[in-house]
Amino acid sequence: MDNIILLKIIISFFVGGGVVLLVAFLSEKLGSVLGAIFAAVPTTVAVSLFFQGITINTDAVVQACGGSLVGLSVFGFFCVTYVYLARFNFIVALCCAIAAWLSVMLVFIWSGIEQMSLCFVIFLITVCVSKWMLGRRHVEKIPFTKGRMNPFWVHGLRFSIGGGVIAFSVFMGVVAGEVIGGVFSAFPGMAVSVIIILNHSMGRHFTVDFIKNIYMNAVLNVGVYTLAVYFLYTPLGLIWGTVFSYVLSIIPAVILYRMQMMRE
């Protein structure tokens, strides 16, 4: 690995960590519904795929989209595991959720599935099943109140997890191939960091409500972004492909927010 690639990976860590820190801060201040919409904006995936494009090339990013889409669909296993186990113990629930995501992703990596059409079918099936299971888990709606001020280590944890996930996905794209890099770009680093912070400042019930809200926001926003990257990166290039894909991914967030407000 030459020095230029190493430098890009280091830069991706700091830029990605900073962006994730900002989005996590906004999600904490805006409540479980609006905060979930902000947290579901495809920040981690966008920065990961962008730096993979800088480090490798845009064709590599397009090839990584299938893995990223499946990684996103497996996010449902993470959410379902956490929501069902959080009532027993927070640490156990979070560790089991991460283990569930990693276990299913290892099966995917071992299977060697790369075709975008097959990845999309897997995405649709897992989203439907996960949404149904999350809907069966009823939790008490927690009114939003301003949380406690977080100490410095909390912000450092957000920065480290967000930046680490992004830098690691870029690294894996270089050493293990584009598809594997796409898989790790979809690791729920944002959800993990925000869950830890919100459990500390807002409590367990709030985090469960937050995860139930974030799931459909995430699969729609990040799903739209990933598909847009797949179709737009080749004709528009890295910069404009990223800009238009990000704008398109925000549309579902706005629609979902208005729907949530109409139900309130």
Lowest mean pLDDT among 75-79, 254-258, 260-264: 260-264
Q: Are 214 and 95 in contact (CB under 8 A)?
A: no
pLDDT (average), residues 41-55: 73
User: Residue 93's closest CA among 208, 231, 246?
Assistant: 208
> Rounded to 5 degrees, what are φ and ψ at 86?
-60, -25
Helix (H) or strand (E) holding 141: none
Task: Give the integer Cα–Cα distance in Å for 193 and 170.
Answer: 19
147 pLDDT band, cuts 50/70/90, is very low
Residue count of the chain, please give it: 264
144 pLDDT band, cuts 50/70/90, is very low
pLDDT (average), residues 122-131: 86
Higher pLDDT among residues 97 and 14, named by residue: 97
Percent of the chain with pLDDT over 70: 66
Q: Are 131 and 156 in contact (CB under 8 A)?
A: no
**Residue spans per domain, the chain:** 3-67+157-263
pLDDT (average), residues 189-193: 69
User: Residue 220's closest CA among 55, 41, 98, 66?
Assistant: 41
Task: Give the integer Cα–Cα distance in Å for 80 and 84.
Answer: 6
Greatest mean pLDDT among 32-36, 62-66, 146-150, 200-204 lies in 62-66
pLDDT of residue 152: 66
Where residue 137 falls (left for φ over 0; alpha for ψ -120 to 50; beta otherwise) is: beta
pLDDT of residue 189: 66
Q: How far is CA 260 from the centre of its chain?
A: 21
90-101 pLDDT tens trace: 889 889 998 888
Task: Give the integer Cα–Cα distance in Å for 150 and 187.
Answer: 24
On the CB side of 144, how many CA atoms lie within 13 Å of its CA?
A: 12
In degrees, rounded to 5, the angle at the alpha carbon of residue 73 between the alpha carbons of residues 111 and 67 is: 45
Q: Could you tell me the CA-to-CA distances from 66 to 29, 101, 132 in Å, in that order?
A: 33, 17, 24
pLDDT of residue 96: 92
206-224 pLDDT tens trace: 778 777 777 777 788 888 8
pTM of the model: 0.69
Is residue 89 classed as helix, strand or coil in its secondary structure?
Answer: coil
For residue 85, pLDDT over 70 is answered with yes
Q: Could you tell me the CA-to-CA distances from 102 to 55, 71, 106, 210 in Å, in that order?
A: 25, 10, 6, 22
59 pLDDT band, cuts 50/70/90, is confident
